[in-house]
Chains A and B, each alone.
Chain A
Amino acid sequence: MRKFLMLAIVAALIIPISSLAAYPEKPIKIIVPSKAGGSTDTTARLFIKSAKKYWPNAEFVIKNTGGSGGQKGFEEIARAKPNGYTIGMVFTTQVVAHVVSKRARYTLDSFHIIGNSMQDPLIIGVPAESPIKNLKEFMAAAKAKSLTAAVNGIGSDDFVAAKKFEQQTGVTFNLMPTKGSTEQKAMILGGHIDASFMNLSQLQGQHKAGTARIIAILADKRSDILPDVKTAAEQGYPVSMTATRGFVAPAKVDKKILAKLDDLVSKVNKDPDFAAACDKAVLFRLPMTGPEYLDYLTKLQAETQKFYDMNPW
């Protein structure tokens, strides 16, 4: 650890001397396309805390541009002056869903993808008093009558997950769009709906407290915080879906600056203190490099396009 710090200090001393390295000489603005206090916002705030270790002279400010499913914020990042002093965060599936539904004034090419840092797998939750205990019973119930399932608005990760589930299993849900996870939670806990597609972090507390039940996690492997919850694949339905939260910059930023930013994000992603803080805040890390994340986003966009073509919104 001490060696590590020494290295960081030495690096910090060297960087300002070297030629390309006036950057960053003023505060770097991170555009967070959601309201203050959400998990994307917390990710950015934790990131800054750790980033200051590696770039001690740099200053970061957060600008929350919430609303319209993140679209306003994504557009702002795409439009920002490409001088390296404005970067931002994106989250899926919204960032590609807006492109697919033709309302975005950006494409994936408008961004340089720096890398991903968080994920939040989708889960299927049911009320605590529901007779449904696992996916098999869930499928049987869904075939018997159309189950009412809540999703966060149309085009969100929940919605795409529900559609994906419908497509791969052949059942159809009575989908109820809501204003967000708060409403979904209230409906699950109050027993007003049969099930809800939502993110793991949003319902894990209720599952632990016994006020709601997670019957399946739509991921490749089980989660560390809820080891008792089986994945959908384990239960015979290989559907996986996750929400990611990563960093991007406007596409036209100078290559050298981008390289530095890439480096910073990958360093923070590996930082043990950052990992510890994320664990505490119930954020699940999923480090991806820029090219990996770009590949992921491109595939996700193609997939979302498929659902949009079948049933446009």
Chain B
Amino acid sequence: MILQALQALFTPISLFAVFIGTTSGVIVGGMPGLTATMAVALLIPVTFALEPLTGLLLMGGVYCGAMYGGSIPAILLRTPGTPAAVATALEGYPMTQKGHGGLALKVSVIASFTGGMFSALVLLLVAPVLAIFALTFGPPEYFLLAILGLAGIVSMADDENRLVKAIISGLIGLIMAVVGTDPMSGMLRYTAGLTDLFDGIAFMPALIGMFSISQMLELTGTKSIITDTSTITKIKREPLPKGIHKPIVLGSLVGTIIGILPGEGATIAAFMSYNIARRRSKHPELFGKGNPEGIAAAEAGNNGCVGGSLVPTLTLGIPGNSVAAALLGGLLVHGLIPGPELFTKYGVMTYAFIMSLFIANIVFLLLGLFMAPYFARISLTPTALLIPVVCLFSVLGSYAMNNSILDIFIALLCGLAAILLQKTGFSLGALILGLILGPIAETGFAQALIMGHGSYAIFFNRPQAVALWAIILLLLVPPIYQIYKQRKTP
């Protein structure tokens, strides 16, 4: 069956579909406001005219390409093309400012490639087993997973004073996430009667505001993104830094695992692997100032999600995220019902699709490596022309996500607030972590209580929950101990 699948895949039309899909995916991912979900949905009617396999290959290519594409503007302009690239922006943009944009892009594409390949391999070999693992996660586990993510806030702070501020930022993020419809009672809270706020403060516009718009406003005082233009007049080709493989491996693993859990997204995967890499790094002090290890972990993490999210999609019909959901729609249109049959009766098509993900990863690897030096030149563009263009795309990106004018104003407001908070030492990363994880924490907490008929025992009497508690403690105790020690010694 594998051989037949390979045969089906290595036809000119199939390879062409993968190529076109991946390339357009990179473009779609690179534009804030265009998402892989939109592109896959647009492809659904198109696939009627095509062979089912060709349609699937196109969709898979778009998915892989878009996940990588988001990192390009994140690194060069601090404008994440997809929410999942935010963690990349934290490290990539400072590198660009120092004139290492080309290197940052290279690290990102190699990490994305490795993460993507690893997760596709996992999907190919052990999908059914992992899907069963994913199912053991219920509401209490999701709540604890959110707590685990929030524990990362502690590792974002270096000393005691910063720690309190980081926690406050995280809480503000969580509070912002409360706006909208109460997930349990359906009551509207803190929405001021604005329909656009019923689903909460939209995530992407807030991100665009905090990262992109705030940065563009700050750049108004400079001539170019690169801080010291006197020494750097062109972008050099640089070799990969040493020690980069460890965060890549780590990111691939974390990304794949998070990706498998239905409903958990690439954004969380990227942030989690970023935080873990930071904790385990030999040079944690370099994080936030342009450490390629951070890019490596984050990008391996979000691309690891691609294969991971397809595990429950293909085996159980539970899409891991919104792109996988659209892809599932594409499968159903062709009468392919997720489940065991997909791997037996329709095995040729399924395996050809899974293997096409490898090719898609190779396509964007070559594309990324080849284009990196050219893309990196964007950082040399004079700001007078660059800022207005980036601002325009930021505004458009905020609008296009939900077709909402209000979202543009949210982005502008977040931009201004981000500048104020950053200058007073409140961590933006912690705030965003709170904003992403807030809904998961709240819903998980409330649902678990319903599930346990009101008893808190449910958070402690399940094996997965206990394991998660152990990991949380492992992550929390060393940094707190360190801070405590620092306080005693000086």
**Residue positions of A touching B, CB distance < 8 A:** 35-39, 41-42, 45-46, 48-49, 63-69, 71-72, 75, 101, 103, 105, 146, 148, 153-155, 174-179, 182-183, 185-187, 189-193, 205-206, 208-211, 277, 280-282, 313
Contact bitstring B299-330, A, C-beta under 8 A = 1, else 0: 00000000000001000111100100110010
Q: Provided the pairs A72-B196, A182-B263, A187-B138 are in contact, do residues A176 and B318 lie with their beta carbons within 8 angstroms?
A: no
What separation, in Å, do the CA atoms of A189 and B326 have in the docked complex? 21
Residues in A neighbouring B11, C-beta threshold 8 A: none
CA distance A282 to B337 in the complex (A): 10
Q: Is the CB of B195 within 8 A of A68?
A: yes
The verdict on B473 contacting chain A, using a C-beta distance below 8 Å, is: no
* B339 contacts across to A, CB distance below 8 A: 205-206, 208-211
A178 in contact with B447 (CB, 8 Å) = yes
In the complex, which residues of chain A have a beta carbon less than 8 angstroms from the beta carbon of B450? 148, 174-176
Q: Which residues of chain A come closer than 8 Å to B48, judged between CB atoms? A: 49, 277
Q: Shortest beta-carbon distance, A36 to chain B, in Å? A: 3
Tell me if B317 and A176 are in contact (CB < 8 A).
no
Taking the nearest CB of chain B, how far is it from the CB of A231, in angstroms?
22
Measured between beta carbons, the chain B residues less than 8 angstroms from A155 are 186
Check if A75 sits within 8 Å of B195, measured CB to CB.
Answer: yes
Give chain B nearest CB distance to A275 CB in angstroms. 14
Query: Considering residues A36, A42, A153, which has the most beta carbons from chain B within 10 angstroms of its beta carbon?
Result: A36
Q: Is the CB of B333 within 8 A of A42?
A: yes
Contact B135 A67 (CB under 8 A): no
Q: Tell me if A186 and B263 are in contact (CB < 8 A).
A: yes
Extra contacts, 18 of them, besides A38-B325, A154-B185, A176-B451 (Cβ < 8 A), are A37-B40, A45-B41, A49-B45, A49-B48, A68-B199, A75-B195, A101-B186, A153-B181, A153-B183, A153-B186, A176-B450, A178-B443, A183-B262, A186-B318, A190-B136, A205-B337, A206-B316, A206-B317
How many chain B residues touch A (Cβ–Cβ < 8 Å)? 53
CB distance from B346 to the nearest CB of A (A): 13
Contact mask for chain B residues 273-305; partner A; CB cutoff 8 A; 1 contact, 0 none = 000000000000000000000000000000000
Complex Cα gap A176–B445 (Å): 12
Chain B residues within an 8 Å CB radius of A206: 316-317, 339
CA distance A42 to B43 in the complex (A): 11
Q: Which residue of A lies closest to B454 (CB)?
A: A174
Of the candidates A67, A193, A277, the one whose C-beta lies within 8 Å of that of B198 is: A67
Q: Which residues of chain A are near B447, meaning CB under 8 Å? A: 176-178
User: Counting CB contacts under 8 A, is B188 at the interface?
Assistant: yes
Whether, in the assembled complex, B478 has its beta carbon less than 8 Å from a beta carbon of chain A, the answer is no
When A and B form their complex, which 9 residue pairs have the shortest distance between CB atoms, in order from nearest? Answer: A209-B339, A154-B186, A37-B326, A36-B41, A68-B198, A190-B135, A192-B138, A313-B186, A205-B337
B390 interface residue (CB < 8 Å to A):
no
* Assembly CA distance A33 to B110 (angstroms): 39
Check if B44 is an interface residue, CB within 8 A of chain A: yes
B337, A148: Cβ atoms under 8 Å? Answer: no
Query: How near does chain A come to B452, taking the closest CB pair, in angstroms?
Result: 9
Write the B440-463 contact mask toward A (1 if CB under 8 angstroms, else 0).
000100010011010000000000
User: Can you name the residue of chain A whose Cβ is closest to the Cβ of B337?
Assistant: A205
* Residues in B neighbouring A174, C-beta threshold 8 A: 450, 453
B340 touches A (CB below 8 Å)? yes
Cβ of B335 within 8 Å of any chain A Cβ, yes or no, is yes
Interface centre among A65, A189, A280 (most CB of B within 10 A): A189
- In the assembled complex, the CB of B334 is this many whole angstroms from the nearest CB of chain A, namely 7
The answer, yes or no, to whether B402 is at the interface (CB within 8 Å) is yes
Give the contacting residue for A185; candidates B138, B318, B451; CB below 8 A.
B318
Instruction: Return chain B residues, CB-CB under 8 Å to A64.
Output: 38, 41, 403
Interface string of B170-210 (1 = CB under 8 A from A): 00000000000101111110000001101100000000000
Check A38–B198 contact: CB distance below 8 A: no
For window 372-430 of B, CB contacts with A under 8 Å fall at 402-404
Known: A37-B326, A174-B450. A205 touches B338 (CB 8 A): yes
Nearest Cβ in chain A — how far from B475, in angstroms?
A: 25
Tell me the nearest residue of chain A to B41, going by C-beta.
Answer: A36
Are B402 and A65 in contact, with the CB atoms below 8 A?
yes
Residues in A neighbouring B184, C-beta threshold 8 A:
154, 177
Q: Complex Cα distance A55/B483, Å?
A: 71
A37–B59 alpha-carbon span in the complex (Å): 12
Instruction: For the complex, give the distance between the alpha carbons of A176 and B137 in Å.
Output: 16
B139 interfacial by beta-carbon distance below 8 Å: yes
Neighbouring B residues of A45 by C-beta, 8 Å:
41, 44-45
Q: A65-B403, A179-B183, A189-B316 are in contact. Are A36 and B37 (CB under 8 A)?
A: yes
| Identity of the chain A residue whose Cβ is nearest the Cβ of B38 in the assembled complex | A36
A176 / chain B contacts, CB cutoff of 8 Å: 447, 450-451
Chain A hits for B45, CB < 8 A: 45-46, 48-49
Contact of B263 among A67, A179, A280, A282 (CB under 8 A): A179
A253 to B170, CA, bound (A): 49
Chain B contacts for A153, CB-based, 8 A: 181, 183, 186
